[in-house]
Amino acid sequence: MFRQKLTSVNEELRHENVFNRHVYLLQFLGVTIPNKLHPERRWMDSVLFSTVLIIIVLNSISQVMTLFLHQGSLASKAVNLMFFLVNIVSIVKLVLIQSNAVMLSRLFEALDTPGATDSTTMLRVIGVITQVYVAIIFTLLAVFVASPWMTGSQKLPIPYWFPFDTDNFVAFTATYTFASIAFTIVAYTMEAVDTLLIFIAGQICRRLDAIQDALITVGVEEPLRKRGWKRYKAQEDNLGLGITRLAALSRDETLLRECIREHVDIIQLVRTFDIVLDDIFLAQVIQSTIVSTMSFFAASKLEDPFRDIPKLGAIIIGTFLQFFMYCWLGEEISDHSDDLHRTLYLSEWYKCREKIMKSLVIMQTFTKNHFRLEGGHLFNIDLRTFTLVLQESFGFFMVLRAVIR
């Protein structure tokens, strides 16, 4: 009985929408992606979304006020600036995702294939990367939440400004609860948005892989027995072509027609995805550059390196991994689209009829320019931008260190 129930649950999970998990995470944050069950946004979702934004905004105000009013070390101010930027970028991501909810709904509907969560190597790699990324995020969150209980003092792990005294137990409990809720929301925002975007890229690449697998078979003569035909000896028609060859020619026409239609659909999907990703990536570039610089600076000014280096190290690794995911998804989409051009040449196109060869030339010319995603119309979303941000972050850190001794 239990085994039958488990089998039915696994069957349901195999056939559910591949984006369901991300839709549930976004609903937790008040972001609604319209679908057939809920085509319109409900008032409860609007209230929840507004509440989430207000909490993050209040947390951001507390962080920025700490920079100006709290008498702390340069390292603590650098940490406050980092968390302030993370809060601001989280707000930007939530607002942009909600404003582009209709476009995301179209992407979900077009890219959904039951059971396609780990059907390619890239999707399996994405699964590993996102698991590591989420583990780092919630490890940092757990350290933040558990820090007062681990140290036994009524003090948050980072400086916080509040317009009232937090020395008594009631006030500290209120501020601790508010800060924990705020950082939990930020952590869920990072998981929901960042992993969603890289997963969409993985699904686009999966469809490009399917086109590539189909195009490599162009011009290949399939044996009759694979088609279930009874003839073992190829008969000649009036054109002098064997039955096998005629079947292959007919198959090539159908195959090429379907591949072109699929490629046109993917072009529209990539354009839609580029619109969704545009401003989000620009905000991510700014966050990653400044947070990396401030992390290096805070590490160079620590009073107790053995205690604080692990936390800053986790922040640096998480920041670089987060930005790497964005740059890598753009790089993979470009590489997969470029592979189509190469696959067309590697196929047995020289065995095709002149009509099909002309169509292949047109398709090869069109696929010569691979897909290119851009962020804010300023940066290409690829690994070169990732390397550039790493170099610039370290350069800004060296300048900041030379100016502030």
- Structural domain for 232, as ranges: 32-403
Check residues 170 and 235 and name the one with the higher pLDDT: 170
Q: How far apart are CA 244 and CA 386, in angstroms?
A: 51
Those residues with Cβ within 8 angstroms of residue 52's Cβ, 6 or more apart along the chain or in another chain: 29, 30, 94, 185
Signed CA dihedral, 78, 79, 82, 83: sign only: negative
d(CA 271, CA 269): 5
pLDDT, tens digit, 9 for 90 and up, residues 108-117 = 888 876 555 5
Which pair of tokens denotes residue 87? 């809060």
Tell me: pLDDT of 14 over 60: no
Q: b/e map of 349-367 (b: 16 or more CB within 10 Å)? A: bebbeeebbebbeebbeeb
Q: pLDDT tens-digit profile of 266-315?
A: 888 888 888 888 888 888 888 888 888 888 887 777 666 666 677 777 77
- Sign of the Cα torsion 328, 334, 340, 346 reads negative
Higher local confidence (pLDDT), 227 or 74? 74
- The more confidently predicted of residues 95 and 152 is 95
Q: Which band of pLDDT confidence, cut at 50, 70 and 90, is reported for residue 54?
A: very high
Identify the band that residue 8 occupies on the pLDDT scale cut at 50, 70 and 90: very low
pLDDT digits (tens, 9 = 90+) for 173-210: 888 888 889 889 988 898 888 888 888 888 888 888 88
**DSSP characters over 32-80:** ----SS--S--HHHHHHHHHHHHHHHHHHHHHHHHHHH----HHHHHHH
Q: In the predicted model, is pLDDT for residue 233 greater than 50?
A: no
Q: How far apart are CA 348 and CA 351, in angstroms?
A: 6
How far is C-alpha 226 from the geometric centre of its chain's CA atoms?
Answer: 41
* Domain presence at residue 346: yes
62 neighbors 162 (Cβ within 8 angstroms): yes
- Predicted TM-score (pTM) of this structure: 0.80
165, pLDDT greater than 80: no
Question: Given the structure tokens 């077009």, which residue do they identify?
Answer: 110
The residue among 326 and 237 whose pLDDT is bigger is 326
Does some domain include residue 113? yes
pLDDT surpasses 70 at 43: yes
- Which range (161-165, 230-234, 322-326) has the least confidence? 230-234
pLDDT at 248 over 60: no
What integer pLDDT is reported at residue 76 of this predicted model?
Answer: 74
Tokens for 315? 């922040």
Identify whether 200 is part of a domain.
yes
DSSP 8-state assignment for residue 100: T
* CA nearest to 201, candidates 362, 290, 330: 330
pLDDT at 247: 47
Cα 311 to Cα 316: distance, rounded to the nearest angstrom: 9
Over residues 73-94, mean pLDDT = 83
Per-residue pLDDT tens digits for 325-340: 888 888 888 888 888 8
For residue 26, is it within any domain? no
Percentage of the chain beyond pLDDT 70 is 81
The answer on pLDDT for 153 being more than 60 is: yes
Amino acid letter, residue 157: P
What is the per-residue pLDDT for 12?
42
pLDDT of res. 236: 41
In a domain, 7, yes or no: no
Domain assignment present for residue 263? The answer is yes
Residue 232 has a pLDDT of 36
Residue 219 belongs to a domain: yes
Q: What is the predicted pLDDT for the residue at 238?
A: 40
Worst-scoring range by mean pLDDT, 202-211, 228-237, 251-260?
228-237
**Can you give the length of the chain in residues?**
405
**Sequence-ordered list of residues with C-beta below 8 angstroms from that of 391, at least 6 positions apart, any chain:** none
Number of domains composing the chain: 1
Q: Which of 193, 241, 240, 191 is nearest to 221 (CA)?
A: 241
DSSP sequence for 174-199: HHHHHHHHHHHHHHHHHHHHHHHHHH
The mean pLDDT of the chain is 77
Paired tokens of 205:
């690449």
Indicate whether 17 belongs to any domain. Answer: no
Which stretch of DSSP H or E encloses residue 281?
A: helix 243-300
What is the number of other CB atoms lying within 10 angstroms of the CB of residue 35? 13
